[in-house]
Structure 1
Amino acid sequence: MQSTSSANHHPHQAIDQLYSHHHGWLQNWLRKRLGSAADAADLAQDTFVRLLSSATGEALNYTAPRAYLATIANRLALNFYRRRSLEQAYLAALAETPEALAPSLENQALVLEALDEIDQVLALLPAPSRQAFLMAQLEGYTQEEIASRLKLSVRTVQRHLARAFEECIVLASTHDE
């Protein structure tokens, strides 16, 4: 493998070496955890795409590149399972919808894409903000009810909701451009 200083000058080359030395191991490691060779192949590729998009060559600064790759892959796997769970919940709700009211396949794909983007935004929020937002939007709780259930002041719930709405507004504004 290249030295760290050389890797910093040529990050893509360093990542290429990292790929050739560890891709097979990472894919097998993911396959054992996911139980699916196809999902493991996708997530292994996504792990290296993530490294390429950062293009810093940081991976070679670690004494344990496999642990570094496993950390990235674990995060991607969590996102993968969260997206899959969200998609399954949406499809289950669609199955309950009368056929005459069901959205077109194109609209279903758009809704799934929007749900994924919202999920990504919510995942970035602190847990109390995310929980307060979901309780208000999905369960219809008032601010007072949320405060009581979360054992917070109403003012704190308002701050959490404001933060969540700000993130949603930022997400919406990126779609208006």
Structure 2
Amino acid sequence: MSERFEKNLVHNRDALRRFISSKVRDRQEVDDLVQETLARTLSSADRNRVKEPFAYAMQVAKTVVIDYWRKERGEPIGEDVVEIADEYCPMEKQSQHQRLRDLVGIVEAMPELRREVFIRRRLDGQTREEIASALGMSVEAVKKHITRAMADLAVGMEAKGWVD
């Protein structure tokens, strides 16, 4: 068991409590749900692979809260209800911003035409045919640029340690 993993959870216990308190009306249940969250997190996490213990614990907390609501059947269950506000996940927010900067860097490093095709397809939602027409190329060429862009992303993500 990783000492860093445990310290991270202990350090963020109050944030877990605040999150669960914001979702469960019965304050007497909150401590039990926090303990359940910590127990599940510690028993299920592969501490060597989880890079953000607090973010992982927040996902477990969502599941614990949903399980509680299902058992109690007194409160609605929905993704909008268990959405985690940014103030509960400052480390996750920072991690997401860094990943976004890294992804932008990977895309910016692509050759200009490949980047243009990728952005039009994946970000702007244009069809292959629309891209081909706008850039004066064949649909097959568009497909090749998209494939190569996805390969560039995969290599960049692997270099950042995001995938095995």
| TM-score normalized with structure 2 length | 0.43
Q: Which has the higher contact order (CA 8 A, sep 6+)?
A: 2
| TM-score normalized with structure 1 length | 0.40
More helix by share: 1
